């Protein structure tokens, strides 16, 4: 249970205690109860939004690997105690098998959710943060499918980004443009262990060589 869950349980317990005491004393503090109820409703609502986003992102990951364990979105409360800069990762056990779920940073999930919930028109030329978030979901999906090498996951993911975008509501053209934006604007600046010369149109890692479709 995250910080949000602890707060919700504490507030609910507090409200229950006030109500119980009020009934016993025959004087229920309705104003105080209403003040407690407000954050309960807000926390409950945002938590529900996150759970539905996680479900959606997990179903996207499962289009790559049907038995993938899904996706966990870091909550705001968790991000306060997290000093790292990672956008997402998947843990691997000693046998080199992925142990899920894939972890996505609060920021990545926010950008992904913003992309997913954006209108059809907004999916033309989305902000670069959203392009990267869509790609991170593709990338972690390949880790969940068992690919541990960063440059391989990265190259597979880039060729998957158009499809990932489409599952999240983009048209085919918008999906292809998003993948191309990543290839042009983000991939060249990735650390060297994330890139390889084989990851080019017609290269060893091109899944559809000879079709001139890249990425
Ligand atoms: Zn990775």
What is the Cα–Cα distance from 108 to 53, expressed in whole angstroms? Answer: 12
Q: Average pLDDT in the 198-213 region?
A: 94
Lowest mean pLDDT segment, chosen from 10-14, 127-131, 201-205 = 10-14
- Confidence tier at 124 by pLDDT (50, 70, 90): very high
Residue 194: beta bridge partners? Answer: none
Surrounding residues of ion ligand 1, Cβ less than 5 A: 150
The whole-number pLDDT of residue 162 equals 98
Residues 6+ apart with CB under 8 A from 134: 112, 115, 161, 164, 165, 168, 178
For the chain, the C-alpha Rg in angstroms (whole number) is 21
What is the Cα–Cα distance from 36 to 30, expressed in whole angstroms? Answer: 10
Q: Look at residue 50 and tell me whether its pLDDT is greater than 70.
A: yes
Q: Average pLDDT in the 139-153 region?
A: 96
What's the 169 CA to ligand 1 centre distance in angstroms?
Answer: 24
Q: Average pLDDT in the 207-214 region?
A: 91
Sign of the Cα torsion 197, 148, 64, 86 reads negative
Q: Which two tokens stand for residue 81?
A: 């105690």
- Look over the chain and give the mean of its residue pLDDT values, rounded to a whole number: 93
What's the 153 CA to ligand 1 centre distance in angstroms?
Answer: 6
Q: Which residue has the higher pLDDT, 168 or 81?
A: 168
State how far the alpha carbon of 37 is from the alpha carbons of 9, 22, 198, in Å.
12, 16, 57
The whole-number pLDDT of residue 2 equals 67
The whole-number pLDDT of residue 76 equals 86
What's the 90 CA to ligand 1 centre distance in angstroms?
Answer: 7
What is the Cα–Cα distance from 54 to 108, expressed in whole angstroms? Answer: 12
SS3 label, residue 35: helix
pLDDT in tens, 30-47: 998 999 889 888 888 888
User: Of the candidates 105, 192, 114, which has an alpha carbon nearest to the alpha carbon of residue 140?
Assistant: 105
The whole-number pLDDT of residue 71 equals 96
Q: Average pLDDT in the 120-125 region?
A: 97
What's the 127 CA to ligand 1 centre distance in angstroms?
Answer: 22
Residue 91 φ then ψ, to 5°: -85, 145
What's the 149 CA to ligand 1 centre distance in angstroms?
Answer: 7
Residue 84 φ then ψ, to 5°: -75, 170
What is the Cα–Cα distance from 115 to 133, expressed in whole angstroms? Answer: 9
Length of the chain: 215
């Amino acid at each position: 249970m995250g910080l949000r869950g602890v707060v919700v349980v504490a507030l609910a317990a507090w409200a229950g205690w006030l109500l119980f005491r009020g009934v016993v004393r025959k004087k229920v503090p309705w104003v105080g109860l209403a003040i407690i109820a407000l954050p309960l409703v807000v926390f409950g609502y945002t938590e529900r939004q996150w759970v539905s986003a996680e479900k959606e992102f997990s179903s996207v990951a499962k289009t790559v690997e049907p038995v993938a364990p899904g996706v966990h979105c870091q909550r705001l409360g968790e991000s306060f105690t997290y000093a790292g800069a990672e956008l997402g990762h998947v843990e691997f056990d000693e046998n080199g098998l992925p142990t899920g779920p894939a972890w996505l940073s609060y920021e990545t999930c926010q950008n992904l959710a913003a992309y997913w919930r954006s209108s059809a028109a907004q999916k033309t030329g989305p902000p670069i943060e959203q392009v990267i978030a869509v790609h991170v979901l593709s990338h972690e999906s390949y880790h969940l499918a068992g690919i541990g090498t960063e440059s391989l996951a990265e190259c597979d993911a880039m060729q998957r980004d158009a499809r990932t975008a489409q599952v999240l509501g983009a048209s085919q053209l918008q999906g292809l443009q998003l993948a191309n934006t990543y290839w042009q604007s983000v991939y060249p600046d990735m650390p060297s262990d994330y890139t390889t010369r084989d990851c080019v149109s017609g290269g060893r890692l091109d899944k559809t060589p000879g079709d001139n479709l890249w990425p």
